[in-house]
Chain A
Amino acid sequence: MDDHGSVATGGGASRLDPPVAGLIQAPPSGAPDYSLDDRLLGGVEADFDSIEEVDAVARSVRKKGLQYSAVILLLLLTVPVLAWLGPRWFARPVWGGLTLNFLTVAVLMHFAFVAVAILYARVANRSEDEMLGRPEGDG
């Protein structure tokens, strides 16, 4: 990390991803390769995340993750609890012989998973867009 708290992007295993990698000379044999990304991409001055920004986005994304997981957990646990409470939930057919309990577990739950997934992915991506990064030239 430099004085500004920006990340020296890299780590033990951070190789530059092709097709970018193919355009760049490999580091000398035996040298650590963590600086490859930075050499390629203009160094840490080009664009960086400060620790304060990343902390803020991590808190925000974690909070959303917990909220969405609470919704899913509630949905998942409500079904067996309703089934335990009584036959009005699991024994009354709503379409042919299909009961609401069966339809919920076999079909509706999957719609809920996909809906939560799409919403969360959008919200998390938007948070990162809004809270991280700078306009070009504001390095």
Chain B
Amino acid sequence: MADPRPLIAALGLTVTMLAVSWALRRSTSTTLDFYLASRQVGPFLNACAICGDYFSAASFLGVAGAVYASGLDGVWFATGFAAGFVVVLLFLAAPFRRAGHFSIPDFLANRFSSPAVRLTAVAIVQLIVLLYLIPQLTGAGIIWEVFVGGGIGGMSPYTTGILLSVVAIVIQAVVGGMKGTTWNQALQFGLKMFALFVITAIAVGHGFSYSDAAEEVSRRPLGVPAEVTRTESFRSDASGRTTLELAQTVMSAEGFKAAVDDLERGASRVDLLLPADNQLHPRRTLRFMEPGFRYSLWQQIALIVTLLLGTAGLPHISNRYFTSTSGRAARSSTVWVLGLAGVFYFFAVLLGVAARADLPRLLGAGVTNANYVDSVVRVPEKALLLLTEQLGGPSLLALVSAAAFAAIFSTVAGLLLAAATSWGHDVYEQFINPFASERRRIRFGQAAVTITATIAAAIGLAVPNITSTQAPSVALMVTWAFALAGSAFTPVFLLGVWWKRANSAGAIAGMAVGAAVSLGFIGTELLGRVTGWPISTPVSNFPSIVAAPLAAVAVVGASLLHGAREDSTAWWLRVHGTALERRQASFVRLTAKGGGLP
């Protein structure tokens, strides 16, 4: 173990988290307490908790990494992640809360008065949660490997990271319920924001200037690390230039000379930087501030649509809206979320630019080792960590390690509670034991948290054994969860909430079509990676652009074909009216004045 400080920081975070849950352990006496924090979470606290829940490792390390690796195209992840909350605010935040339900399946089952809708929704929630959980836990293993470096009890660092994280998060969620999780998520968000702010301040102290850095990184074409064989390095492309000649256009003089020296000494493989292909304007040399590293025009639009629709369908995010005090408070929370997300992503993007501009300056030109090729980071997700190490040494790295674990803990806790709510409230209480005592219901919810965490941990532990170099990255798997959520749930939410004629047949058809089409596209991507078959399509990673419209058509078509008008008037009045909130406000005013019950 190289330095104990990151481990101490991670342990400090865990102890704080468990202390918060312990302090709030009495807030789990009813299912309403355990799953929804008694619906008493104020707008700002809920906004911070939503941010804690939402800004996972993919946001904390992944956005800076995506910007670092791909420049402008990487910034779209930050913007898209934030934009998703605009859809939530405009169409769903207040209705989610006013409906007064426990979970996404509960919300849909009550809207469509259908147990089949509930069960279909439960299945999709579990799929989304698993798709989201696995990369988070994989991230926990990787972060433990990077920061702490040692295992416990003969286990590898990766296994230790996953198992300790799961145990800590399960205890937190089981002991503190939604209230404990809410406070923990809010504190963890504060820690992430603080870490980004401190790294930025130290970077500025080291001479970082956003505008100058942008100028610096745009001087040369964008270079991508690549390991090439000796034969490949002398092979010419269509323009007649060899791979080495192409590398010379993006590498520093020192880095290029070192690579050529390696080849002259007879090395069979050599690390080079190669100019990135331009997907948007293929004849144009790509630079950091320009679009085209990752996406063509249609892929760009597909990404935007997928992220825009995905947020609204994520079960751990919608669950947070059920904890608000009122529909209006749910709207206020979302406005706060958009403001906080803007600040968070401003820093994340800035640090991606800072890493690209400052690492070569801090390291010196031409550094090639396990982490770098010509002073460019090999694994983009490590860019923020390596910048932190260069700027502030182990102490600053300890802060970032705590923030990175916070990112994982807060998201995983939200996901586990979302899964537990759908198992506990939607399956156990509705179908298995409707007359269970409150105590027994909570026990089942706690067991559901533990079992879901165990399954996700088992898959997370198996990931290193079943994947290869073609394995999807953590950020990509999270995007798949967005795609499934945005395709299977969001169209059904939007039409269910705002179109009276939507009925249970439409809801089931919409969820089934959205899930099948999005999973089909994701399957082509996964199969293509594993087998090498060219079956992946340009939208395989962002299928919502195809799947969500098809799901919407399915909702409308099946609702109209089904014919029967299901009476949802009471639900409609509740979700779009404000009578209950006005009456509750009157009652609170009345009791505050010392009046009794009417």
Contact = CB atoms under 8 A, between A and B. Distances in A.
Contacts of A10: 574
Contacts of B212: 96-97
A69 B86 contact: yes
A53 to B, nearest CB: 7
Interface stretch (B150-158, B296-304, B459-467): B296-304
Contacts of B583: 9, 37, 41-42, 46-47
B241 interface: no
A30 B435 CA distance: 7
Interface stretch (B17-25, B97-105, B262-270): B97-105
A65 B297 contact: no
Interface string B458-499: 000000000000000000000000000000000000000010
B335 A17 contact: no
A41 B598 contact: yes
A120 B89 contact: yes
B331 to A, nearest CB: 5
Interface string B569-581: 1111110111110
Contacts of A1: 569-570, 573
A90 B289 CA distance: 7
Interface residues on B, range: 35 or more
B100 A20 contact: no
The majority secondary structure among interface residues of chain A is: helix
A21 to B, nearest CB: 8
Contact of B217 (A19, A76, A97, A111): A97
Contact of B570 (A11, A48, A83): A11
Contact of B334 (A87, A101, A117): A117
Contact of B215 (A37, A53, A96): A96
Among A16, A17, A111, which residue has the most Cβ atoms of chain B within 10 A? Answer: A17
Interface in A82-113: 83-84, 87, 90-91, 93, 95-99, 101-102, 105-107, 109-111, 113
Contacts of B537: none
Interface stretch (B77-85, B139-147, B228-236, B401-409): B77-85
Nearest to A13: B101
Contacts of B40: 17-19
A98 B214 contact: yes
Nearest to A76: B304
B194 interface: no
Nearest to B100: A14
A102 B289 contact: yes
Contacts of B91: 65, 69
Contacts of B39: 17-18
B526 interface: no
Contacts of A9: 574, 579-580, 583
B38 interface: yes
Contacts of B334: 117, 121
Contacts of A110: 79, 82, 338, 341-342, 345-346
B598 A84 contact: no
Interface in B537-577: 569-574, 576-577
A18 B27 CA distance: 12
A120 B210 contact: no
Nearest to A134: B582
Interface in A39-60: 40-42, 46-49, 51, 53-55, 57-58
Contacts of A77: 301, 304
Given A72-B86, A99-B290, A41 B584 contact: yes
A98 B212 CA distance: 8
Contacts of A27: none
Interface string A116-139: 111011001100100011000000
Contact of A102 (B75, B90, B300): B75
Interface stretch (B184-192, B247-255, B503-511, B585-593): B585-593
A109 B79 contact: yes
B346 A121 contact: no
A54 B218 CA distance: 55
B214 A20 contact: no
Nearest to B343: A110
A97 to B, nearest CB: 3
Nearest to A92: B289
A72 B72 contact: no
Contact of A58 (B85, B284, B576, B580): B576
23 contacts: A7-B573, A7-B574, A9-B579, A18-B38, A23-B591, A37-B580, A46-B586, A48-B579, A49-B579, A57-B577, A80-B297, A95-B211, A97-B213, A97-B218, A99-B290, A110-B342, A110-B345, A113-B82, A113-B86, A114-B342, A120-B90, A121-B89, A128-B578
Given A14-B574, A96-B212, 4 more contacts: A15-B32, A15-B100, A37-B584, A111-B342
Q: Name the 4 nearest CB pairs between A and B, nearest first.
A: A96-B211, A97-B215, A110-B342, A97-B214
